[in-house]
Amino acid sequence: MRILGGNDSKLFYLVVGKNIKKYRDIRNFSLQVLAEKIGLTKKTIQRYETGEIKIDMDRISDIANALNVRIDSLLEGAYEFLGLSVNDLQMVSLPIVGKVSCGAGALALEEIEGYEQTPKSWLNGGEYFYTRAQGDSMINARIHDGDLVLIRKQSDVDDGEIAAVVIDDHIFLKRVYKRDGTIILQSENNLYPPKVYNSNDVGTCFIVGKLKKVVVNY
């Protein structure tokens, strides 16, 4: 891994800052509007944009989310200019999955639409993937159609947690409750009644992961 010198470091933050300002202008956000979306002061955003102060990857991620752009867009020209790799910035590439199948006891991730660069700080052991929310059944949990959601692969979740559940090979997000050998899938929209599955439905309905983060709808 390359260690940034003083000049390299300043150039890196300057390029990131210019990208922040570019997309803020595209979104027609004032400094104040962007600051409020992230919970910072207008002055802090301004200092980020001028490269006056350092900005860590978690904060870059927050700003990308607020601006409705990929993290890569804010890093464009920064790590490349300095000769850094994605790993140097502590990022990992994760697949965006449209379908999951289960055969011979192993999960197969299918219909990969692409890959998303993800801060390693979002990950805490285990395997992860992204999928896109479908429809409006989870809107009361602030999950909207097309939102990109980060999933940690696991076959069970605690009662009441939101899970990625496979029903007939397709992935849905539902709040999961377990009662007397049954699994209850609850939507976060009163227009949709809960769905109930029992042990005989294992091949039709099963949990593949836990919701860790709603990223952005772009």
How far apart, in whole angstroms, are the C-alpha atoms of residue 131 and residue 96? 5
Beta-ladder partners of 162: 175
User: For 69, which DSSP code?
Assistant: S
Q: What are phi and psi of 72, to 5 degrees?
A: -55, -35
User: For 87, which DSSP code?
Assistant: G
Beta-ladder partners of 94: 116
Q: Which residues are catalytic?
A: 137, 174
Assess contact for 185 and 195: CB atoms under 8 A: yes
Two structure tokens written together for 50: 């001028």
State the CB neighbour count (10 A cutoff) for residue 104. Answer: 5
Two structure tokens written together for 4: 């940034």
State the CB neighbour count (10 A cutoff) for residue 194. Answer: 11
How far apart, in whole angstroms, are the C-alpha atoms of residue 54 and residue 12? 9
